[in-house]
Amino acid sequence: MNAANDILRLIGTELPEVEPVVRHGNKPLFHSFETEAELVGGIKGTLEIIDNTGYNTIAVIGKSEKECNNLYKLLNYKVNRPIQHLKENEEIKKGHLVIVPSYLSKGLEFDVVILISLNETYTMDEIDIKLLYVAMTRPMHQLYLFGTNKKNLLLDKLDKDCIEIGENG
């Protein structure tokens, strides 16, 4: 929530900060990747870690529907679990890895969120900041971020104490 509130401050207007509900988990963890194969490997490794935590609901959030289509094509049959590319007004299927665009994630909660910037980046535009904020506030326990660099997710604008940087970060 601290990282999400830092993102919201980028808008520059006085918006009320979210008071975090008691949620347990580590700081958000950023992983960088250079190739799609590295991204898939990083996600598979992250899913293995998640499997050992007992968390059940996992979402992959992309910026847009187009980004989510690309993520679905990239991950389908490459991760050891069923995948649901969530559409508007669709029920979430139990036991599925859910891929959802940021604008459809509002109001949803997951144990874990994997937020990915594959081909699309978040900019300093107000709408992008709000979309990123919404995506960052969907996990109840853990947030993982993947991008080719921290700037793609505006993480370079955050207080360094708000996020952890993975080995490749």
Separation of alpha carbons 166 and 130, rounded Å: 25
Asked whether residue 93 is assigned to any structural domain, the reply reads yes
Separation of alpha carbons 4 and 134, rounded Å: 8
- Do 98 and 139 touch, CB atoms closer than 8 A? no
pLDDT number for residue 95: 92
**Which residue range is the domain that position 49 belongs to?**
2-10+25-148+158-165
Asked whether residue 153 is assigned to any structural domain, the reply reads no
Residues 131-153: pLDDT tens digits? 999 999 999 999 999 999 999 99
Total domains in the chain come to 1
Q: Which residue has the higher pLDDT, 131 or 1?
A: 131
Q: Provide the residue count of the chain.
A: 169
The pLDDT confidence band at residue 161, using thresholds 50, 70 and 90, is confident
The pLDDT confidence band at residue 1, using thresholds 50, 70 and 90, is low
Q: What is the DSSP string of 133-167?
A: HHHHT-EEEEEEEEESSGGGGTGGGS-GGG-EE-T
Mean pLDDT of the chain: 89
Edge to edge, what strands does the sheet with 29-32 contain? 83-85, 97-101, 58-62, 110-117, 139-147, 29-32, 164-165
pLDDT number for residue 160: 83
Asked whether residue 20 is assigned to any structural domain, the reply reads no
β-pair partners for 59? 98, 113
pLDDT number for residue 113: 98
Q: Return the structure tokens found at 135.
A: 């995506």
pLDDT number for residue 92: 95
Residues 72-126: pLDDT tens digits? 999 999 998 999 999 998 999 999 999 999 999 999 999 999 999 999 999 999 9
- Do 40 and 78 touch, CB atoms closer than 8 A? yes
